[in-house]
Amino acid sequence: MKSKFVDKFVYDKKEDQRIITHEGMMLEAYAKAVACYSPLFAQYGCSLEVSLYWVDFSTRKCYDHRLPFRIGYACYVCCEVQRDGEVVHVKSTDGEADYYTLSTERMVSAIDRDFFQTKVSLYSDSDEAEDMEELLRQLSNSQQETDIKHSNEN
């Protein structure tokens, strides 16, 4: 997960709309950037689903709706590779896990304490291509393993 710092400022309730607008712009920008990859994933029977999700770091829980603005608030943009409405998992080849979920995420905004002040950090990133190429590589490798397995069974 990579994020490029864009802006940091002291939180004030008057800034709520600025945070919301930034999150919406980042969702739109990421969706637009990955859209050109949709045909490549479609070749594998997959689609790309881009959405926002929010994390409350005080409870470490994730939500599909915006949380109240306070210390511990964070928003991420997520892109999932889906097939038949389910996130695609690929078998791990590194031995660290049984499988990996084909998804990527980037932090969009966060609220934390910095030098006794509540501060907002807004993030932006322009390297979606690297994410999509890695997801495609993993999907392709997984498909090749499946094809080899099927040809050996025949």
SS3 content of the chain, % helix, strand, coil (to 5): 35, 40, 25
| pLDDT score for 109 | 96
The confidence score (pLDDT) of residue 10 equals 93
Q: How far apart are CA 57 and CA 110, in angstroms?
A: 10
Residue 44, number of CB atoms within 10 A of its CB: 15
The answer to which of 25-29, 122-126, 136-140 has the lowest mean pLDDT is 122-126
Separation CA 31–CA 131 (nearest Å): 13
What is the rounded CA–CA span in Å between residue 28 and residue 45? 24
132-151 average pLDDT score: 67
**Cβ-contact 106, 75 below 8 angstroms:** no
CA 62 – CA 116 distance, rounded (Å): 26
Q: What is the pLDDT of residues 61-80, one digit of tens each?
A: 999 999 999 999 999 999 99
Query: Is 123:108 a contact under the CB 8 Å cutoff?
Result: yes
**N- to C-terminal Cα separation, the chain:** 41
Q: What is the pLDDT of residue 5?
A: 61
C-beta of residue 124 within 8 angstroms of C-beta of residue 25: no
**Band of pLDDT at residue 53, cut at 50, 70 and 90:** very high
pLDDT of residue 72: 96
How many domains in the chain? 1
Looking at residue 131, what is its pLDDT? 84
Q: Tell me, what's the pLDDT at 95?
A: 65
What's the pTM? 0.83
Domain that holds residue 44: 4-153
pLDDT of residue 115: 84
Distance CA 80, CA 34 (A): 11
